[in-house]
């Protein structure tokens, strides 16, 4: 059957239509106004126009947070729609757009709608990785995110580096949102993000992990609504660059002291996370870069990997420059670039869900 995959981000709509003949059509639309509802409606109207005579028999949606469930995907009926709405506070930067895209698709396409969850890949993490050092009765734990792409990496990596893929691997999903995942036997055993997608390493507008005392102090100064806006929209690279940009591409092109500082800070954070995960695993056998920065920013990969020679990673400058699939120097442990493709995983999960 033909399957339409939908990925409603905070600033864009990505979609892929997988046709019955095995072909694939990809679409991307940027939001065109500050009014998210209006702009996303326009994006979906453009999608509908571009689809033309091709209509889906099923629509699969990326959902950043699935809550406490461990299901990788679920059919969205009215009960599930209500449950998803109750999770908005866990991912306020993403879930409103995810839900708006779902509601628009339910109006446009009278076909089954399937939710596919980024958190599901990490459900198998051991308790040592899930547990937060807080009272257990608070019932809060680490979820982990970017799971659809990590699942795609787990599916793809053996075809690139063979049996080494089943050993200890760190995948670095580096984009506007960023996290790292430690995989053993192609399963998640640890990750940098936590209870929400605001934790872990520094991101475009999110700080990553902070001293809890900083949050206590900020809570004294701002209302909950103001603090939520600061945490998700005004920290990270944007703050480190003194408001210059949250986009790595802009920061790399800039000559300002603040931009250069933000770049160095980001690379140091990623290196530190790689070192921490390697220490937890007792060593590491391969490193994967993915997502916008990870796939396209050769300078960032070089800055991250140069100090990692002590754990066996070094880059071939030319292969790194051209964004080759394998970019490790001769004698290095495998260093791989895998372009993110959550859409393939959404398609596969949809097919599994209806079987």
Active site residue ranges: 118
Asked if 64 and 37 count as a contact pair (C-beta separation under 8 A), the reply is no
**Phi, psi (rounded to 5 degrees) for 58:** -160, 145
Length of the chain: 355
**Nearest CA to 142 among 151, 130, 128?**
130
Q: Would you call 103 helix, strand, or coil by DSSP?
A: helix
List residues bridging with 117 in a β-sheet. Answer: 63
Q: Which residues contact 159 (CB under 8 A, 6 or more apart)?
A: none
Q: Which residues contact 81 (CB under 8 A, 6 or more apart)?
A: 99, 102
**Nearest CA to 290 among 175, 181, 207, 194?**
175
Report d(CA 193, CA 212) in Å as an integer: 15
Map tokens 């490193």 to a residue.
287
Asked if 2 and 19 count as a contact pair (C-beta separation under 8 A), the reply is yes
Q: Look at the alpha carbons of 297, 169, 129, 85 in this order and tell me if their dihedral is positive or negative.
A: positive
């Amino acid at each position: 059957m033909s399957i339409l995959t939908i990925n409603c981000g905070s600033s864009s709509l990505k979609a892929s239509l997988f046709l019955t003949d095995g072909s694939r059509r990809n679409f991307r639309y940027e939001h065109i106004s500050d009014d998210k509802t209006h702009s996303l409606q326009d994006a979906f109207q453009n999608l509908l126009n571009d689809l033309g005579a091709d209509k889906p028999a099923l629509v699969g949606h990326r959902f950043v947070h699935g809550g406490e469930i461990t299901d990788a995907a679920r059919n969205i009926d009215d009960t599930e729609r209500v449950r998803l709405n109750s999770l908005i506070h866990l991912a306020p930067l993403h879930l409103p757009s995810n839900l708006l895209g779902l509601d628009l698709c339910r109006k446009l396409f009278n076909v089954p709608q399937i939710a596919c969850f980024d958190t599901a890949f990490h459900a198998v993490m051991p308790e040592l990785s899930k547990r937060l050092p807080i009272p257990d009765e608070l019932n809060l734990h680490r979820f982990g995110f970017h799971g659809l792409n990590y699942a795609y990496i787990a599916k793809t990596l053996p075809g690139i580096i063979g049996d080494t893929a089943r050993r200890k691997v760190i995948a670095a999903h580096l984009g506007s949102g960023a996290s790292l995942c430690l995989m053993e036997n192609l399963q998640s055993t640890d990750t940098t993000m936590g209870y929400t997608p605001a934790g872990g390493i520094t991101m475009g507008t999110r700080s990553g992990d902070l001293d809890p005392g900083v949050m206590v102090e900020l809570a004294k100064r701002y209302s909950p609504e103001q603090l939520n806006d600061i945490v998700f929209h005004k920290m990270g690279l944007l703050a480190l660059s003194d408001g210059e940009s949250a986009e790595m591409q802009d920061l790399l092109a800039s000559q300002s002291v603040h931009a250069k500082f933000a770049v160095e800070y980001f690379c140091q954070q990623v290196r530190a996370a790689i070192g921490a995960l390697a220490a937890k695993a007792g060593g590491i056998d391969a490193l994967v870069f993915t997502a916008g920065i990870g796939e396209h920013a050769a300078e960032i990969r070089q800055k991250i990997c140069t100090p990692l020679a002590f754990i066996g990673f070094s880059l071939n400058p030319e292969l790194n420059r051209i964004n080759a699939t394998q970019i490790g120097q001769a004698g290095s442990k495998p260093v791989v670039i895998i372009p993110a493709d959550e859409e393939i995983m959404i398609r596969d999960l949809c097919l599994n869900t209806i079987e």
